[in-house]
Chain A
Amino acid sequence: MTTKLFGTKVPRVEDQRFLRGQGRYVDDLLTDDPRLLHSAVLRSPHAHARILDIDVSDVLDVEGVLAVWTWEDLTGPMAEPLPLLIPHPTLTHGRTQYALAKDEVNYVGEAIAFVVAVDRYVAEDAVSRIRVDYEHLEPVVGIAAARAATRTVHDDVPDNVGARMEQENGDARAAIAAAPHTLTLELDVERSACTPMEGRGTVARWDPDTSRLTVWSSTQTSTGVRGCVAAKLGLDLAKVDVITPDVGGGFGVKINHPWPEELLVPLAAMTLGRPVKFTEDRREHFISSAHERAQQHHVEVGFDDDGRLLGLDVEFWHDHGAYTPYGLIVPIITSTQLLGPYKPQNYRVVFESLYTNTVIVTPYRGAGRPQGCFVMERTMDAIAAYLGKDRTEVRSTNFIQPDEFPFEHGLVFQDGRELTYDSGDYPASLVKLKELVGWDEFEDFRAEMAAQGRRVGIGLACYVEGTGVGPYEGAHVHIETSGRVKVATGLTTQGQGHQTAFAQIVADTLGVRFEDVEITTGDTRKMPYAVGTFASRAAVMSGSAIHLAALRAKEKALRIAAEALEASEDDLEIADGVVSVRGTDTSVDLGTVAVLSNPLRYAFDEASKAATQFSVGDPGKPPVAEDDEPGLEGKDFYSPERSTFASGMHAVIVETDPDTAEITILKYAVVHDCGHLINPMIVEGQIHGGVAQGVGGALYERMAYDESGQLLNASFMDFLMPYVTEVPTTIDIDHLETPSPLNPLGIKGAGEAGVIPSAAVFAAAIEDAEGFPIAAMPISPSELFALRLAHADTPAEAIAEETR
């Protein structure tokens, strides 16, 4: 009997090629093709300027340069602005850039010209010979400048406001006015970025013999890129294939599409009749790929003596950069997901999404949730401080209870569906977390440390994460005559171990050996209907679709096997790729069933010999019945009515150095509920990685723009990402499994969880260690030091008053 693989720590199959240096990332492709050309992009050195003239006359003199494009060379749809991928009625002033800037640039890094040459060195030489005359315009940098609106990013967007959106459930302002206690908080989060180790990349090859364009892109959505390339280049969809090979991390930034290069590379390949490659370098990634996180929040909250929320009113300002290609996903998520595991009885939220002369903003792992969690958890801590209550007690008072699911918030979520939580058990999570981190013993620890002159603090933060967002994913399962199972799903993979986790599902559902299952992702030739890998949706969406498709293949296998074995389907079982009649020795291999499923005319090998129309079937009937089709395959799609909602809680104990204000992590604990776990090893790996990114976001990473819109830290030397020396040495993890009723496997998705509560949990712990409020993240030692000085002469009562 096959061992059940779902829920076990199966080692990853993809590791074999990665460990041997045989992974295939975009820049690894076509390296041995002597015809391959390389490209480089001239990017704006100015944050805001009008382009008066572009002189490319010296470019083609450079030996090895084949072509240069500016906006004036583009025609048809390519000369129009890039698509606004997710329009929203409240996005009244959506703006997108051109593939190559027309007339005006709005951030440092905006693409202006595209050069193709025999290698990247030569292409960069040529780029440096392009001369552009600019008329400088005053840039708008940062949320304060955007709100002040003394100048605008786009002439036709008043006050820099791209969108204003409001949602309300109940009457928050009246409830706050009537509440026994109220607090007001100002809470800020700065810009950071996904910064995967592999930047963006695109390769394209036009095949004149078949009139087909093949594009390889380091994207999170092959089908999305395919649609955009076809539309922009005026090609029939059927002529475009997009393949996503191995991807060196995404974290959100590779879901935006099409990047200018994803269109310019195919355009160049078709024009020049040779394959063309673009590989982004690290500086380009900093200045021309997307950022996220920057928001300012104003919170008013009313509550009773127990700390129960009576009304919550949140107003916030979101910096979406110079353009809005990905719509309002990030602020919509903040506005809805900040509710976390709680149930404010009256909630109003309003945000403005603002233009600035900085690079665009698209979802970064967590996508607006870290800011939302920061807002809500800081509010919870402030209420606890005000009432003098334990912070866990105030949270418990406000939790949605296990018997209240499905819980309707009366709001609309990012997918346009009702914000309704499917399942969860928040009180149980809190019990586990308190135990894991030693919450009740902390005061003894604090006293012990204080006796040694050491300052420590503890914090916790809770979150709920809308995962598994629709609209759908699909899968195709094909059992070959060898008995091997080929599975295709359209979404992409960028390190999450999909080949392993999905194969586990197929092995269990179909009853085949794990080793016999091969998964293909992100190849539009094999599954042209797909959405993409983002929002912790892959396991839920493709996992469910693969399960359903495998069930269909199994159903057919049992039907054919029943006929062959002259048994009832109900008496059959499949294990290790063999269909047998329960309790007997009678059996047939799945590979043989595949042979039987396909009447053939030609015998090209032993298996096919058995399948020719002359050796199988009833001569009185057609070889393929009217309601059947040849082959042993199953195809299905999964489309949920709404998102699943994973949840979790983190706690951290930090030590702050009394002299240097350096922040050290002493203990980190995570309780996590993503429903049923397919592969706990992979889930824990996702948590580890998320926590590390969260540590970076809370303590180190920020995009340091100066007032003229220059990014001052656009390198790994200056933008501080965590090394091993910055992350917790261990992370204590405990799982809770409240299965989702929305999908057949009861799973919820785990990709972003680790990063969501980080800013909140570190702010709480630092505040606890220092005794004054922390309202802006990230926080550096020098900022903490400055806060200490500011609060040095302020008595504790006044600080509490200030919090109010």
Chain B
Amino acid sequence: MTSEKLHDVRLHVNGSVHEVRVPARRLLSDALRHDCGLTGTHVGCEHGVCGACTILVDGAPVRSCLMFAVSAVDAEITTVEGLTEADGSLSPVQQAFSDCHGLQCGFCTPGFLTTITAGLRDNPDPSEDEAREMIAGNLCRCTGYQNIVKSVLRASQIQGGTKGEMQGEIQEERG
């Protein structure tokens, strides 16, 4: 069989440039994980339903298993590895997950973190219902979601948000 045509692709990920040579059919999720070595992005279903592979493409949450690497050439990509603050500390969303026990096995977590990061940028002060809406496209098999909803509200609080009836309860639990 003839060899597959390869494309030189320059990916801008988390502020760095990655030069990869991939076939046209290579999924962006695979390119990030296996070619760029950024294994924080996880693949749970490869058909766009579970949300584990969600990354930010030019700031918008995108299923990286539904996008080809060659389509991402001109985009600014942020993966879970890029969410941490410059000084190495956790971002508000990451910190909130730690505070509220918003994760168990951690496999779906990167997709939730990126989704919520984008969600809170668009709506920094969500109500509990809006928090639930924000994560309604991501599957988690471990946590039962209650603590992920809490994490969204807690992250908003860390960022300076004020709304959300559950916030008193969250503070109380932390105390």
Q: List residues of chain A with CB within 8 A of the CB of B83.
A: 21
User: Chain B, interface size: which category?
Assistant: 35 or more
Q: Is the CB of B147 within 8 A of A495?
A: no
Determine if A692 and B109 form an interchain contact, defined as CB atoms under 8 angstroms apart.
no
Query: In the assembled complex, how far is the CB of residue B99 from the closest CB belonging to chain A, in whole angstroms?
Result: 7
CA–CA, A11 to B108, complex, Å? 19
Inter-subunit contact A248/B106 (CB<8 Å): yes
- Whether A688 contacts B103 in the complex (CB less than 8 A), given A121-B25, A716-B45, A723-B138, comes out as no
Cβ distance B33 to chain A, nearest Cβ, rounded Å? 7
**What is the CB-to-nearest-CB distance from A419 to chain B, in angstroms, rounded to a whole number?**
30
| Residue B132, interface by CB 8 Å | yes
Nearest-CB distance from A318 to chain B (Å)?
A: 24
- B143 and A689 form a contact (CB under 8 A): yes
Give Cα A494 to B23, complex, Å. Answer: 34
B3 close to A (CB within 8 Å): yes
With CB as the reference atom, state the residue of chain B lying closest to A61. B1
Cα(A32)–Cα(B136), bound, Å:
34
B41 at the interface (CB under 8 A from A): yes
- CB of A247 within 8 A of CB of B105, answer yes
Q: Which residue of B lies closest to A62 (CB)?
A: B1
Chain A residues whose C-beta falls within 8 Å of the C-beta of B80 in the assembled complex: 19-21
The closest CB in chain A to the CB of B2 belongs to A63
Nearest chain B CB to A294's CB is how many angstroms away?
A: 20
Indicate if A592 sits at the interface (CB-CB under 8 A).
Answer: no
- Quick check: A28 and B139 within 8 Å, CB to CB? no
- Considering the chains assembled together, what is the distance between the CA atoms of A27 and B44 in angstroms? 11
State whether A11 touches B110 (Cβ < 8 A): no
A688 and B94 within 8 A (CB)? no
**Inter-chain contact B41/A495, CB cutoff 8 Å:** no
CB-CB under 8 A from B44, the residues of chain A are: 197-198, 248, 282, 716
Are A249 and B141 in contact, CB atoms less than 8 angstroms apart?
yes
Residues of B within 8 A of A24 (CB): 39
Within 8 A of A (CB), among B53-95: 79-81, 83-84, 90, 94
Please give the number of chain A residues whose Cβ is less than 8 angstroms from any Cβ of chain B in the complex. 65
Would you give the shortest CB distance from B166 to chain A, in whole angstroms?
Answer: 9
Report if B159 contacts A (CB, 8 A).
Answer: no
- Given contacts A23-B40, A63-B3, whether A14 and B106 have CB atoms under 8 Å apart is yes
Give chain A residues whose Cβ lies under 8 Å from the Cβ of B46: 281-282
Bound state CA distance, A273 and B106, in angstroms?
33
Q: Report if B163 contacts A (CB, 8 A).
A: no
B148 at the interface (CB under 8 A from A): yes
Question: For chain A residues 685-724, which have a beta carbon within 8 Å of chain B?
Answer: 685, 687-693, 715-717, 721-724
Q: CB-nearest residue of chain B relative to A11?
A: B98
The closest CB in chain B to the CB of A16 belongs to B98
For B1, list chain A residues within 8 Å (CB): 61-63
The reply to whether the CB of B153 lies closer than 8 angstroms to some CB of chain A is: no
Bound complex: CA A279 to CA B164 (Å): 41
Complex contact A195–B141 (CB within 8 A)? yes
Instruction: Tell me which residues across on chain B come within 8 A of A722, comparing CB atoms.
Output: 145
Does A114 touch B at the CB level, under 8 Å? Answer: no
User: From residue B113, how far is it (CB to closest CB) to chain A in Å?
Assistant: 7
Q: Do B37 and A198 touch (CB < 8 A)?
A: no
Task: Please determine whether B98 and A249 come into contact, CB atoms closer than 8 angstroms.
Answer: no
Interface membership of A729, Cβ < 8 A: yes
CB-CB contacts of A1-39 with B at 8 A, as 1s and 0s? Answer: 000000001011011111111111101100110000000
Q: Nearest Cβ distance between residue A628 and chain B, in whole angstroms?
A: 42
Given A689-B141, A730-B146, A198 and B107 contact (CB-CB distance below 8 Å): yes
Within 8 Å by CB of A495, from B30, B98, B142, B148, lies: B142
CB-CB nearest 10 A-B residue pairs = A21-B40, A495-B105, A248-B107, A18-B106, A688-B144, A28-B39, A21-B80, A692-B144, A495-B104, A716-B49
Interface residues of B (CB under 8 A from A): 1-4, 23, 25-26, 30, 33-34, 37-47, 49-50, 52, 79-81, 83-84, 90, 94, 97-99, 101, 103-110, 113, 128, 132, 135-149, 173
Besides A15-B98, A196-B105, 12 more A-B contacts (Cβ < 8 Å) are A9-B173, A15-B97, A21-B79, A23-B40, A31-B39, A197-B140, A197-B142, A282-B45, A723-B145, A724-B136, A725-B132, A729-B132
